Amino acid sequence: MPNCDVVVLGAGPYGLAAGAHLRSVKGLDVRVFGEPMSFWDHNMPVGMFLRSNWSATQIADPVDALTLEAFMNAGGKQMSQPVPIEGFIAYGKWYQTRALPDLDRRKIVRVETNSSGFRTTLADGETLHSRRVVIAAGIGSFARRPPEYKELPPELASHSSEHKNFDRFAGKQLLVIGGGQSALESAALLHESGAEVEVIARTHRIHWLQGWASKTLHHGLGTFVRHLLYAPTDVGPAGISQLMARPDLLRLLPRALQDKLRKRSVRPAGARWLVDRLKNVPIRLGRSVTSISVVGDRVRVRLDDGSERTVHHILLGTGYRVDVSKYDFLSPEVVKGIRRVNGYPILQPGLETSLKGLHILGAPAVWSFGPLMQFVSGARYASRSLTRHIVENK
């Protein structure tokens, strides 16, 4: 017999929101596991800011009581826009103490199927049986390290998600690879930490969010136009934003159009407030790395224009590539039972995989439910859809 109805794996924004919504269902026995806000706390550098607006930075709860405003009123850290990472982490931990005070912080090391649904094994060896498992494990397993850098030792090359801060690079020369928010903000933080930084990006121009046109629409034309063109979820450009906020509607469109809109909504870009912070950081656009070699305790890089640099470290701001088979806690049988497209699970209503009773939230749900799923604001839709589906299929 199952020990509980639902096991939730993960305690970031999606896991916390899912746990809070499921716990609101009378008679549903839910266990939530994970270290609260662990990826945000350990894999995002001090000093960064969230790119989403204020409304899109709220972690959803069933009655909209655990807001950023409530957190500040309760004596939490005062915050302004853009929201600093330290404040958001504190908010998430405060949310957990209110919504899920009995959160189990033990790590789940294995998820397998059994006759009653699923068997979950914890790091201490305890096993738990449940009818359903909800995976909200985040993107830590999906950090993208291009093949040409895989042979470099960690002291010469690392992914941006591997650093809590950049102080150890003070006085060092670094190349930052990438042209999106992660690369650009990392470059700014490195420069401010005393490093000599250069950004190399294949893109021929940096897309800056919140440019002049957006500011005019948001502020010059008033609240009505802002609400008409932009959903509070803050994903996608004018007009398209409203569609991205409605995954059930987006799913009705032809696949090719869904893919086109997704790319238009989340193309690599930098927040406008990074421009001044990067004014003294060289950014080489339209360039790619053609060769890499180790020279003593440094690394030499040749670009496609023939120029070379010898630096102390290469920082990869190369983002993430979803592939649920990289979740090392999933048994081979479970992975085999999940229908996938390019690493993304094909999800049904309730964000349920092809393996009945297994649900996956967050970035892996992007292919099925749109780019909203890779942002904090998507936790509202995901949690409500998940809860509704489980209640209807008890």
pLDDT at residue number 115:
86
Cis preceding-peptide flag for 82 (omega within 30 of 0): yes
How confident is the chain (394 residues) per 10-residue block, as mean pLDDT? Answer: 89 98 96 97 93 92 96 88 93 97 97 94 95 96 93 95 94 96 96 97 87 47 71 90 95 95 88 93 95 95 96 96 97 97 97 98 97 96 98 91
Residue type, 60: A
Question: By the 8 A CB rule, do 59 and 379 touch?
Answer: yes
Q: Which two tokens stand for residue 232?
A: 């509070």
Residue 354 has what pLDDT? 97
Angle at 16 between CA 13 and CA 17, to 5 degrees: 80
Which pair of tokens denotes residue 316? 């990869």
| Closest residue by Cα to residue 376 from 228, 234, 207, 185 | 234
pLDDT given for residue 211 in this prediction: 45
Residue 103 tokens read as 């959160």
Between CA 17 and CA 256 the distance in angstroms is 31
Q: What sign does the dihedral 317-319-325-326 (CA atoms) show?
A: positive
Q: Dihedral sign for Cα 146, 147, 149, 152, please.
A: positive
The pLDDT of residue 213: 42
Radius of gyration for the alpha carbons in the chain, expressed in angstroms and rounded: 22
Domains present along the chain, CATH in parentheses: 4-142+322-392 (3.50.50.60), 147-206+269-316 (3.50.50.60), 208-265 (no CATH)
- Taking alpha carbons only, the member of 35, 299, 52 closest to residue 177 is 299
For 10-38, the DSSP string reads --SHHHHHHHHHHHTSTT--EEEES-TTH
